[in-house]
Homo-oligomer: A and B are copies of this chain.
Amino acid sequence: MSLSFHQENQKESLYIQVYQHYRDLIMEHRLPEGSRMPSLRKCAQELKLSRTTIENAYLQLAADGYIIAKAQSGYYVTGIASQEPAPDKNTARKHPDVRYDFASSGVDRESFRFDLWQRYIKSALRQNERLLSYGEPQGEEDLRQVLCEYVRQHRNISCSPDDIVISAGVQSLLHILCPLVADRKTVSFPTPSFVQGSTVFSDYGFQIHYRDKDCDIIYVSPAHMTKWGEIMPVSRRMELVHYAGTHGSLIIEDDFENEFVYLQKPTPSLYSLSGGHEVIYIGSFSRLLLPSIRLSFMVLPPSLAESYRQRASFYNQTASKAEQIALCQFIRDGHLAAQTRRLKRLYSQKTKALLQEVRKIFGTDSQIQIGAAGTSLALTLPCSFAGKDLKQKALSRGLRISILREEPGYITLLLSCSSMSEEDFAPACILLHEIVS
């Protein structure tokens, strides 16, 4: 094996290098589906690395679906490389014959009051004078005031509107944040699946680690730990804040889908637990309003807010001014709170209904994983098809599915109820059952 791993880097980074090496081999089909991975011992010998390093890399590969363990036999390459790339967010539009879509990241068409939003946009567009000038780099002042009050009420975050930066989505926030924290070198993400986040950090030269609390920066989504909605328990939140505090790490708290935590309370924000020190809080509206509205914000801790202010004028605002004005008034009039209550009720009821339907139709043969939040569940089924074929077969019958993992004889699907209507759950599950059998 002609590999050179940078030994000077620390242990965590070595295992990620091994992980990435094998991930690339698998994705490029150079390690074909079904082939056996070298044993831990052999691999460690060849790469001149410790067995633990290799084992960590293999565990991560398995966690991300690239390989699977067979008892007393070793690790085998899954069919992941033959699957379609990232779930296409527009497929529903491109395949007009899709009847049931378990794979969409869109929102429920019943959930959003278009007429209401139209009214607010229309009213924002009437503010001619204000629209004739560029937006404030930091975001419109009135919206920052409203957001300041919003996070105080809902997340117990006490800050000033001057600490808030508005942008068109989380990536745009990170483009402002990364240069501010350029003195740090390493950043840890919970999983390799949040590519949009890790790409930005890696573009700026940060080293990306996974689940490594000894990094300079720790990126977490406490209300979205897994795709099936597991949330971070309060005890772990406190632990994390304490650990980061004593080690001088910076936490980035991406509060994605916190509004959809149904079953558990309270879920204090890391920002509030830390007392506002060394935690950056990120909030978004794509799940509450429309995915197509690009509006996110971050709350900077005092030290970073100060450095930001010195650079604020170097960055243009990316979010639409009209949408900022509309959102500001929309929140003031209480519609965001009402919309959150409505969605929470809707998605809680829908995930429960989907769970019941799945239990009824797939019975005891299946295994279901479901968290305390979100709009999805993970379903593991006996299945003799390769994931790729199953996906194709389902699509040809008007059903879109997303595959989370493949093991020999078993397949794990991620079923999202977010863009489907409730009466479709039963026929969609029956159809899926037919296809898998």
Contact = CB atoms under 8 A, between A and B. Distances in A.
Nearest to A199: B314
Interface stretch (A113-121, A151-159, A237-245): A113-121
Interface stretch (A29-37, A67-75, A125-133): A125-133
Interface string A68-110: 0000000000000000011001101100000000001111010
Which of under 10, 10 to 19, 20 to 34, or 35 or more describes the interface residues of A? 35 or more
Interface string A414-433: 00000100000000000000
Contact of A315 (B118, B182, B196): B196
A118 B120 CA distance: 12
A92 B129 CA distance: 10
A292 B317 CA distance: 9
A315 B315 CA distance: 18
Nearest to A322: B292
Interface in A319-335: 319-323
A349 interface: no
Contacts of A313: 85-86, 195
Task: Give the copy number.
Answer: 2
A291 B132 contact: yes
A311 interface: yes
A128 B115 CA distance: 10
A14 B125 CA distance: 49
Interface string A333-347: 000000000000000
A206 to B, nearest CB: 12
A205 B170 CA distance: 22
A172 interface: yes
A305 interface: no
A169 interface: yes
Nearest to A317: B294
Interface in A142-185: 167-172, 175, 178-179, 182
Nearest to A293: B320
A385 B419 CA distance: 65
Interface in A248-293: 286, 290-293
Contacts of A170: 316
A392 interface: no
Given A117-B125, A294-B319, A318-B318, A93 B133 contact: yes
A183 to B, nearest CB: 13
A205 B205 contact: yes
Contact of A179 (B112, B135, B203, B292): B203
Contacts of A107: 132
Interface of A: 85-86, 89-90, 92-93, 104-107, 109, 112, 114, 117-118, 121-122, 125-126, 128-136, 167-172, 175, 178-179, 182, 195-196, 199, 203-205, 286, 290-294, 311, 313-323, 419
26 contacts: A90-B134, A109-B132, A121-B121, A121-B322, A131-B290, A132-B419, A133-B291, A133-B292, A134-B292, A135-B292, A135-B294, A167-B318, A168-B172, A168-B319, A169-B316, A169-B317, A169-B318, A172-B175, A179-B199, A196-B315, A199-B311, A292-B322, A293-B321, A293-B322, A294-B321, A318-B318
Given A89-B134, A168-B320, A170-B316, 4 more contacts: A114-B128, A132-B292, A195-B313, A320-B323
